A and B are shown apart, each in its own frame.
Chain A
C-alpha cells in the first residue's frame, strides 16, 4: 500500500475507532444499540451544512456536533430504553433505516440521494486529538463509580438495583455518552470523505462498528479501538494479495476465524504475549499494593481446614480468626437510629395468575436479629424477599423498611434506604476484579459525577481511594483469601459468595437480605458463613436469610419464620418453630413419614446431620 493510501486509511481507521467507541458506550451498560450511527448522521450532516465546500471547520463545529449527537441520543433513550434487550437492538436497526429514508427525502437540507459536499479541512491533528480525548474519557469512566456500576448493570440489572444502582439512569448516561462521541465521529467522517449522502451513515457502518467492538473485545473499550483499526486496515492489506471481491471474501473469512478462535476478542491475545494489562498501566486505584504482595496470612481465612478438624473445633478456629482480625464494622451500620422493627410487612399479598404466592403475610423482623425464613420449595420465600426488596410490587398489603413505608417503591430506592440483597444465582460482572466488584457496591453512597471523573478532579480521586480502602477492609471482614486484582468471575464458588456479600456490605446496609447463601456449600463453609453473619449482626446489621440448611438456622439464627403455600405457619425462635408439628408436616408430608424417618434414624444410630 502506498504511503498516501496508508495515510488515508489510517485516518479512516481513527474515525471508525471513535464510532466503535460510541457503540461500546451503551454496550458497557448492557445495551446493544446501533443508534449512535443516527447521532453520527446528525453530526456529519451538520458539518456538511455548516461547511459546504470551503471554509475552515473549527473545534466549535465538532463541539456542536457532539452536542447535537448527545442531545439526540438523550431524547431517543426515553423511548428506546423501555425495550427489552433484543427488541432494543432491532429498534435501533429500524431507526437507522428510518433515518436513511428521512435523509433521502429531506433533500433541501441533506441533498437527497445525491448528498452534499463537506469541507475536508479537519486534518491529522483534529483526528488524533479527538481519538485521544475519547480514549481518555472512556478510561476515566471505566475507573469511576459510573463505570463500575455499568459493569454491574451489564451483568444483571436486577442485581444492580439491589445495591442501590438505578439501571435506567446508568444506561441513559452511557447511551448519551455514546451519542456524543458518535456526533464527533460523524462530523469527522464527513470531513474526511468530503462528502455525505444517505449511504454514509447506514447499516454497513453499524455492522462494521459492532463487529469492531466484538472482535476487539466487547468488555473493554481498548477492544473497540483495536478492533476498529484491525477491521479497517485489514481489507486494504488483503487488497495487496487478493484481487477484487476475493479480498472481501478473505476479510469475511478472517472475521469468522477471529470470532471462533478468539471469542473474547483480539484483546485476548494480550494474555499470550504477556503484555501488562492494557488500561492498568497506570495504577487503577491510587494506593493499591503492588502486584504480588501477599496478604497477611493471619488475616486470610483458610478455605479448607486439615482433615479431622470438622465440627466444632473447626468452627472455633474460624471464629477465633474472625475475632482476631475483625475490623470495626460500626461505621458500616445503619445510618439513622430507628426504633421498632427493622422490617415489617402487613397483610402482604402477591398473586400470579391463579396462584397466591404470598397470601396475607404479616410479620416483623426485629432490629439486630438474624432472621431465618424457612419453608419447603414453592412456599413463597423468594417472592416474599422480592416484595421486601422492591423487585415486585404487592397486590395488597404494605412493606415497611426501617420505619418507612416502601410499598410499590422501585428496587434501587429501597436499597438506598439501607437494604442490601443477594441472589440465589451469583451474577458477578465480567471484566471486573475482586476489588472493583466490591467497590461497585458503594455506588449509592458516593457523590462524584461522571464529568468529575473524566476531568480527573482531586475530589473524585479522593473518594475513589477511600472507597478502595474500604473495599480492602471488607475483604478482610468477609475473610477473602484471593488477591484483590483477580477477575471476580474466575473465583471458586465459596469465594464468589464472599465477594457478593462484601459488595452488599459496601453499600453500608442496615439490613442484609440473603437468598440461600449456603446453597452449594459444604458444612465447613456454611459454618464459616454463619460465623460471619453472627459477627455482622453483632455490629448492628439486621440479617434476613432464606435457608434450607436447618442446622445453620438453628445454630445461628435468633428468630425464624416458616412459610408454607404463601402463608406464615410458625414464627419465633428457630428451635421452637422446627419442633412444631405443622412445620414438620410441611417439610416431611404426612406425620407418619416423619415418624418413620425418625425411627429409621434411631435404628441406624446415625449421629445425625
Chain B
C-alpha cells in the first residue's frame, strides 16, 4: 500500500511536467488551430538552453529555467512567423500548418543533434537541489515538489490570464473567428504572436523541468513529452485548461502505475490505448466543448 502512495507521488511529479507541456500545446492548438509537432523540440531546446546557461554561464538554476523558457518563447515566435503566419490568411485547413510544422520539427531536431550530438548530458550535481523530504513514511524528492508547485502556479496563472483578462479574451476569440475580432479593433497579429510565445515558453519550461528531474538531456528527449502531452490535451478536452491539468496528472499516474504494476514495456501501450479509447468513446474529452454548426 505504501508503494502505491509512493508511486502516486512519483506519478504526480511526472504528471506535473506533462501538465505544463500540455498547457502550451493546448494553447496553440485550440486557439490558433495549429497541430504543432515541433512542440516536442521546443521542450528539448528548453533543456539545452538551460543546460548551457548553467554550465557555461554559471547562472543560478532558477534563472536558467526562466531565461530558458523565455528563449524558447522567442523561438516559438520565430517559428510562427516563418512557418505559420504566412498561411494564416489562406484558410488552408489543418494540412498546410501541419506540414509546415513537420518541416520545423525536422530542422529543430537536427540542429539539436548537431549541437548536442549523441551525448547524454546532465546538469552538474551541485546545480539542482536534491533534498528528500520524509512525510508519513513516504519520500518526496525536492524536484517532485518543485515540479508540482510549478505546474500549479503555471496552471493558475494561465487560467487567470486566459479567463480573466482582456488579453486572454482576445486569445480565446482568435480561435473562434479571427476576422471578426480584427474588425472589433484587436491587433490579431500581436495576439497570435503572443499566443505562440506563451505556448512555446510553456513547452520550453516543461523541457527544463524534465531535464532537471530526470537529469537526462538527449537531442530528442522532448518527443516522448509530445506524444503524452498530446494525449493529455485530447483526453482532457481541447480548449479546456482544467482538462489539460487533469489529463496531464492522469497520464503521469497512468505511466507510473503501468510501469510499476504491469511492465515498463507496456506503459506506452497503455497510454496509447487510453488515448484511442477516449477518442472512440468520448472524442471531445472530459471538458472539451462541442461546437454545433448551423446547417
Q: Which A residues are within 8 Å of any B CB, using their own CB?
A: 32, 79, 82-87, 89-91, 94-95, 97-98, 101-102, 104-105, 158, 207, 210-211, 214-215, 218, 245-246, 248-249, 251-256, 259-260, 263, 382, 386, 391-392, 423
Which residue among B86, B90, B279 has the maximum number of chain A CB atoms within 10 Å of its CB? B279
Q: Across the interface, do A91 and B114 meet the contact criterion of CB distance under 8 Å?
A: no
B116 to chain A, nearest CB (A): 11
Residues of A within 8 A of B231 (CB): 94
Docked complex Cα distance between A245 and B279 (Å): 36
> Quick one: given A90-B279, A256-B83, are A214 and B96 in contact (CB under 8 Å)?
yes
Q: Across the interface, do B102 and A90 meet the contact criterion of CB distance under 8 Å?
A: no
Q: Across the interface, do B87 and A260 meet the contact criterion of CB distance under 8 Å?
A: yes
Docked complex Cα distance between A253 and B103 (Å): 6
Residues of A within 8 A of B82 (CB): 256
Q: List B residues 70-121 near A (Cβ within 8 Å).
A: 82-83, 86-87, 90, 92, 94-96, 98-100, 102-107, 109-111, 113-114
Residues of B within 8 A of A98 (CB): 269, 272-273, 276
B183 at the binding interface (Cβ < 8 Å): no
Q: Across the interface, do A95 and B276 meet the contact criterion of CB distance under 8 Å?
A: yes
Q: Across the interface, do A104 and B279 meet the contact criterion of CB distance under 8 Å?
A: no
B283 at the binding interface (Cβ < 8 Å): yes
Which residue among A79, A90, A95, A248 has the maximum number of chain B CB atoms within 10 Å of its CB? A90
A93 to chain B, nearest CB (A): 8
Q: Which residue of A lies closest to B33 (CB)?
A: A86
Q: Across the interface, do B279 and A91 meet the contact criterion of CB distance under 8 Å?
A: yes
Which residue among A101, A254, A259, A260 has the maximum number of chain B CB atoms within 10 Å of its CB? A259
Interface residue from B96, B265, B273 paired with A263 (Cβ < 8 Å)? B96
Docked complex Cα distance between A90 and B25 (Å): 14
Interface residue from A82, A86, A211 paired with B102 (Cβ < 8 Å)? A211
Q: Which residue of A lies closest to B83 (CB)?
A: A256
Q: Which residue of B lies closest to A256 (CB)?
A: B103
Residues of B within 8 A of A251 (CB): 106
Q: Across the interface, do A246 and B114 meet the contact criterion of CB distance under 8 Å?
A: yes
Docked complex Cα distance between A211 and B103 (Å): 9
Q: Per-residue CB proximity of B272-285 to A under 8 Å, as 1/0? A: 11011001100110
Residues of A within 8 A of B266 (CB): 101, 105
Residues of A within 8 A of B269 (CB): 98, 101-102, 105
Q: Across the interface, do B268 and A218 meet the contact criterion of CB distance under 8 Å?
A: no
> Quick one: given A101-B268, A246-B114, are A94 and B279 in contact (CB under 8 Å)?
yes
Docked complex Cα distance between A245 and B37 (Å): 19
Q: Across the interface, do A386 and B295 meet the contact criterion of CB distance under 8 Å?
A: yes
B34 at the binding interface (Cβ < 8 Å): no
> Quick one: given A97-B268, A246-B114, are A32 and B94 in contact (CB under 8 Å)?
yes
Secondary structure dominating the interface of A:
helix
Docked complex Cα distance between A415 and B118 (Å): 61
B153 at the binding interface (Cβ < 8 Å): no
Q: Across the interface, do A260 and B107 meet the contact criterion of CB distance under 8 Å?
A: no
Residues of B within 8 A of A87 (CB): 234, 279, 283-284
Q: Across the interface, do A91 and B268 meet the contact criterion of CB distance under 8 Å?
A: no
> Quick one: given A83-B279, A105-B266, A245-B110, are A214 and B95 in contact (CB under 8 Å)?
yes
B63 at the binding interface (Cβ < 8 Å): no
Residues of B within 8 A of A252 (CB): 102-107, 110
Docked complex Cα distance between A251 and B275 (Å): 32
Docked complex Cα distance between A85 and B93 (Å): 11
B161 at the binding interface (Cβ < 8 Å): no
Residues of A within 8 A of B133 (CB): none
Q: Across the interface, do A245 and B113 meet the contact criterion of CB distance under 8 Å?
A: yes
B227 at the binding interface (Cβ < 8 Å): yes
The 5 closest A-B pairs by CB, nearest first: A252-B106, A255-B103, A101-B269, A252-B107, A256-B103
Q: Across the interface, do B111 and A249 meet the contact criterion of CB distance under 8 Å?
A: yes
Docked complex Cα distance between A244 and B266 (Å): 34
Residues of A within 8 A of B279 (CB): 83, 87, 90-91, 94
Q: Across the interface, do A94 and B86 meet the contact criterion of CB distance under 8 Å?
A: no
Q: Across the interface, do A259 and B99 meet the contact criterion of CB distance under 8 Å?
A: yes
Docked complex Cα distance between A321 and B231 (Å): 62
Q: Across the interface, do A263 and B92 meet the contact criterion of CB distance under 8 Å?
A: yes
Q: Across the interface, do A94 and B275 meet the contact criterion of CB distance under 8 Å?
A: yes
Q: Across the interface, do B268 and A255 meet the contact criterion of CB distance under 8 Å?
A: no
Docked complex Cα distance between A86 and B95 (Å): 11
A445 to chain B, nearest CB (A): 25
Residues of A within 8 A of B105 (CB): 252
Q: Per-residue CB proximity of B223-249 to A under 8 Å, as 1/0? A: 000010011001000000000000000
Q: Across the interface, do A259 and B104 meet the contact criterion of CB distance under 8 Å?
A: no
B230 to chain A, nearest CB (A): 8
Docked complex Cα distance between A85 and B95 (Å): 12
A139 to chain B, nearest CB (A): 23
Interface residue from A84, A101, A254, A382 paired with B272 (Cβ < 8 Å)? A101
Docked complex Cα distance between A259 and B34 (Å): 14
Q: List B residues 256-295 near A (Cβ within 8 Å).
A: 265-266, 268-269, 272-273, 275-276, 279-280, 283-284, 294-295
B218 to chain A, nearest CB (A): 15
Residues of B within 8 A of A246 (CB): 110, 114
Residues of B within 8 A of A248 (CB): 106-107, 109-110
Q: Across the interface, do B100 and A256 meet the contact criterion of CB distance under 8 Å?
A: yes
Docked complex Cα distance between A147 and B111 (Å): 43
Residues of B within 8 A of A382 (CB): 294-295
B220 to chain A, nearest CB (A): 12
Docked complex Cα distance between A382 and B294 (Å): 9
Q: Across the interface, do B280 and A79 meet the contact criterion of CB distance under 8 Å?
A: yes
B231 to chain A, nearest CB (A): 8
Residues of A within 8 A of B87 (CB): 259-260, 263
Residues of B within 8 A of A245 (CB): 110-111, 113-114
Docked complex Cα distance between A210 and B103 (Å): 12
